[in-house]
Amino acid sequence: MIIKINRNGNYQTYEINNIEDRTTILEVLEQIKNYQDPSLSYRAQCRASICGTCAVKVNSQTVLACKTKVKDLAVNDEIVIEPLSNMPVIKDLVVDHDEFLNKLKKAKAWLIPKEPFEKVYPEDLATYDRETDCILCGICYSVCPAFTNDKDFGGPINFVKIFRFWKDKNDALNDERIQTAAENNITSCIHCKYCTFSCPKQIPVEEDILQLEFYGKQKGIIKKQEDFGFNFGFGF
């Protein structure tokens, strides 16, 4: 198996012969670092699809290296591994998360509890259950093309977090969350659904954005635009 890795703009080639059906991208990276090139840099912590730190691009698909099998993505017995997009590269496959994390702070991506605390029932949890699975891997942020036209766009992950806490009846901000979505330039979303298709936790990211945007426009919190270039049948 030929492994090509984008190392700060230059593609370096390695060869690994003992690839099995269950071998993951992360195992390949570890093998290269341990036995061929100790200078190779990448991120990995939990190795169980929980921490999200090992996200990379493999043959143009953005995936978690720890859960993705090499043979599932190999083309002609070759894979190309690259760092995430939309974030500055520090070294090799390690990208700078600062801008990504600072935007999460702007989105207030945490629970602001109200008093008194209300009981949460299964039907309540069902409205935001999938959004709680977000592991902050940055994959949706990496694949989002909206940054091309708006560098201040919050990014899909911001709206997943806003949606999750907006739906939580024990969050004190309520519709202030919609105002936060507006401040994160939610209307810059082009609804391409790349975020939804790429999410390793199957979170319906674009659907969350649509709900926030539709509700915000109905309430007058988010300004309506005359022409999005799209028609989703919501009567915007």
Domains recognised in the chain with CATH numbers: 2-95 (3.10.20.30), 98-218 (1.10.1060.10)
The 10s digit of each residue's pLDDT in 1-13 is: 999 999 999 999 9
Tell me what pLDDT residue 223 has: 86
* pLDDT (average), residues 151-168: 96
d(CA 106, CA 83): 25
Percent of the chain residues topping a pLDDT of 70: 94
Q: Are residues 68 and 25 in contact, defined by beta-carbon separation less than 8 angstroms?
A: yes
Token digits of residue 153: 């766009």
Q: Please compute the mean of the pLDDT values over residues 163-167 and round it to a whole number.
A: 97
Q: Are strands 2-7 and 78-82 parallel, antiparallel or unpaired?
A: parallel
Confidence of residue 30 (pLDDT cuts 50, 70, 90): very high
Low-confidence winner among 83-97, 124-138, 219-233 (lowest mean pLDDT): 219-233
| Confidence bin at 25 (pLDDT 50/70/90) | very high
N residues, the chain: 236
Rounded to whole angstroms, what are the CA distances from 169 to 123, 203, 218? 12, 20, 20
Q: What is the spatial distance between Cα 221 and Cα 52, in angstroms, rounded to a whole number?
A: 33
Q: Which pLDDT tens digit goes with each residue over 82-109?
A: 999 999 999 999 999 999 999 999 999 9
Q: What is the pLDDT of residue 224?
A: 67
pTM: 0.89
Please name the residue ranges forming H helices in the chain.
Answer: 25-35, 70-73, 98-106, 122-125, 139-143, 156-166, 176-183, 194-198, 205-218
**Residue 234 pLDDT level (bands cut at 50, 70, 90):** very low
Residue written as token pair 């702070």 = 105
Segment 220-235 shows an average pLDDT of 57
Residue tagged 């039907």 (tokens)? 123
Residue 226 banded pLDDT, cuts 50, 70, 90: very low
193-211 confidence digits (pLDDT tens): 999 999 999 999 999 999 9
Nearest to 189 by CA among 139, 228, 163: 228
**Res 164 pLDDT > 90:** yes
**Which string of DSSP letters, residue by residue, matches 184-229?**
TTGGG-----HHHHH-TT---HHHHHHHHHHHHHHTTSS---S--S
The answer to whether the CB of 205 falls within 8 A of the CB of 160 is: yes
